[in-house]
Amino acid sequence: MKTILELSMKSVTLAVVLTAGAALAGCSEINGVMNDLQTMTTSNLPEQGIAQPTNKNAVSLKTDLVGLVGWFENSCGFDPVFYTEGTKENQVQKRFDTFQESFMAKQYKTDGSYTAYVKPDYRSKLPANYREAVKNISVVEDSTGVHYYVDFNNATYRGYDLSRLELFYQPESDYVYDTLYFKNANFVDLKSVFKTTRDDLDELRGGEFDAKSRSVMCYLGL
């Protein structure tokens, strides 16, 4: 969170008391200070598309990730429009592919196996518009497979606060899924926005909501 302006009411009150004795001559000076404060506040309001802060004492910027992971709500990216050059959906898909490639990597061993790791210079390679939204990226390997965790900082999805993104795959299998985790239970209000479609095998594809874990999962395997 970036604090743009924080006003101490005690400081403002003291300034008014000290200048009150200056009568009318001091009024213009006080007005000038207040005008400067107003200019500082209004000139730093969030840009269009960025959520407004609820804290009146500070202006915090929240990055909405629809432009990065919007394929979640569009049949988990199985709609053919995502692979059609020139479409907005295809641009989202390419942006997400670049996002993944910026931090996912493998260290191969002599026996042909490998260890997954996070690229040490990933932050400089993340898409610029979403760099500030990423707090940390880590990877965990367990008995089920490889889990990449992207923890967010002031990130939202259509205004609903996000906590993390999980990218999972099971080596040498088609068991693959991506999951968005939300901070609050009200994320279920998004359910009406999420679409479904049927793939080439007539399987229904779309985001699976889990109220208990406050998550939406896209199964990406065949």
Taking only the tens place, the pLDDT of each residue in 141-200 is 999 999 999 999 999 999 999 999 999 999 999 999 999 999 999 999 999 999 999 988
Lowest mean pLDDT among 54-58, 115-119, 128-132: 54-58
pLDDT band at 59 (very low <50, low <70, confident <90, very high): low
Given a contact cutoff of 8 angstroms between Cβ atoms, the answer to whether 44 and 61 are in contact is: no
Q: How far is 102 from 171, CA to CA, in rounded Å?
A: 20
Give the pLDDT of residue 27.
40
Structure tokens at 170: 């099971």
CA–CA separation, 98 vs 125, rounded Å?
9
Q: Which residues contact 76 (CB under 8 A, 6 or more apart)?
A: 205, 206, 207, 218, 219, 220
Cβ 214 vs Cβ 187: under 8 Å? yes
Q: Is the pLDDT of residue 21 over 60?
A: no
Q: Where are the beta strands (DSSP E) in the chain?
A: 63-64, 104-108, 114-118, 134-141, 146-152, 155-157, 160-169, 176-182, 196-198, 204-206, 208-210, 215-219
Please check whether residue 182 is in contact with residue 160, taking contact to mean a CB–CB distance below 8 angstroms: yes
Report the alpha-carbon distance of residue 182 to residue 155 in Å, rounded: 10
d(CA 11, CA 17): 10
* Beta strands at 104-108 and 114-118: parallel, antiparallel or unpaired: antiparallel
Percent of all residues in the chain with a pLDDT value above 90, rounded to a whole number = 64
pLDDT at residue 28 is higher than 70: no
Average pLDDT over residues 188-216: 95
